Every structure is written in structure tokens, then in C-alpha cells.
């Protein structure tokens, strides 16, 4: 084997090793907490009815409905381990857990409750067709969570 070929093989080996290490680090940075639980919902308005979903650390999804969020619960599916990790990664990368909880309401209200690492954080905000800048991150996260759940359970 020539010196150039040897250098090339060494370079490829190094590249593969670094790629594997990077993958391992990203999963170690933010593992899914054992007590992970999330609940999203919206309701109020003329009917006063609420609807939403909950997801636990096993991926079990329940549809929530009723006069209060969760008055009625029905199992509707399960998120895969990859979907759960993606959801947790999206939550942590959004930075939402470092924000103070907010409890505001409107005619129609959205709620988001996240439990992780022994802490539960609740957010509620008025639902709007044109979200205010202060609630844009919450609306984005809410939309992401609901879209992931509905894609999974309504296949």
C-alpha cells in the first residue's frame, strides 16, 4: 500500500470514528427523562369544550376531551422511540423550559404542560390566528407536538 493510500484509509477511519462519537454525544446530551409527560390542548369559547393529547415516557398517546382538559381520556396510539426523542430534542432546543411559566387565558385558550426531571411546567395563552410575538414560540411548539401526534395516530 502506498503512502497516499495509507493516508486516505487513515483519514476515512478517523472520519468514521468522529462521526460515531458525535452521534453518541448528541444522544447523551439530552436523553429522554424517565418521568417525561406532556399534555397539550385547547378549548373554551362558546361551547366551553376542550380537546387535546397527552404523551408519556413510553410513547402512549391519549386523546383528551371534555368540559375540562382530560375529563375524558382515550388511548389512541403510541409514538415510536425515535418520535419521542425528536419531540424531546425539539422541546429542549426551543428553550421553552428555561422560560417562566405563563398562565394567560382568552376566549379560546391553548395549554401546554411538560413534566421532566421531577419538574412540571405549565403554560397557557390565548389562541389567536395571528399569534403575538410573545406567544409565537409556544404556538410553534404546540403545532409541532400536535402535528407529530396526529401523523402517528391517524395513519
CATH number at residue 144: 3.30.1560.10
Domain count along the chain: 2
- Structural domain including 19 reads 1-30
Question: Do 128 and 70 share a structural domain?
Answer: yes
Q: What is the pLDDT of residues 60-111, one digit of tens each?
A: 999 999 998 888 999 999 999 999 999 999 999 988 887 777 777 888 899 9
Question: Do 143 and 89 share a structural domain?
Answer: yes
Question: Do 24 and 92 share a structural domain?
Answer: no
Question: Do 113 and 45 share a structural domain?
Answer: yes
How distant is the alpha carbon of residue 70 from its chain centre? 19
pTM, two decimal places: 0.74
Q: What is the pLDDT of residue 135?
A: 75
Q: Do residues 69 and 112 touch, judged by C-beta distance below 8 A?
A: no
Q: Which residues pair with 108 in a beta bridge?
A: 44
Amino acid at each position: 500500500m502506498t503512502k497516499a493510500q495509507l493516508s486516505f484509509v487513515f483519514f476515512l477511519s478517523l472520519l468514521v470514528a468522529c462521526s460515531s462519537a458525535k452521534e453518541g454525544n448528541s444522544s447523551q446530551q439530552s436523553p429522554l427523562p424517565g418521568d417525561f409527560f406532556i399534555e397539550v390542548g385547547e378549548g373554551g369559547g362558546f361551547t366551553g369544550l376542550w380537546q387535546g393529547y397527552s404523551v408519556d415516557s413510553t410513547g402512549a398517546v391519549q386523546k383528551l376531551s371534555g368540559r375540562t382538559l382530560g375529563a375524558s381520556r382515550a388511548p389512541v396510539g403510541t409514538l415510536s422511540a425515535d418520535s419521542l426523542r425528536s419531540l424531546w430534542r425539539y422541546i429542549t432546543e426551543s428553550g421553552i423550559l428555561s422560560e417562566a411559566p405563563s398562565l394567560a387565558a382568552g376566549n379560546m385558550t391553548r395549554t401546554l404542560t411538560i413534566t421532566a426531571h421531577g419538574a412540571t411546567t405549565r403554560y397557557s395563552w390565548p389562541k389567536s390566528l395571528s399569534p403575538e410575538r410573545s406567544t409565537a414560540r409556544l404556538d410553534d411548539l404546540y403545532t409541532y407536538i400536535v402535528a407529530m401526534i396526529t401523523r402517528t395516530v391517524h395513519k
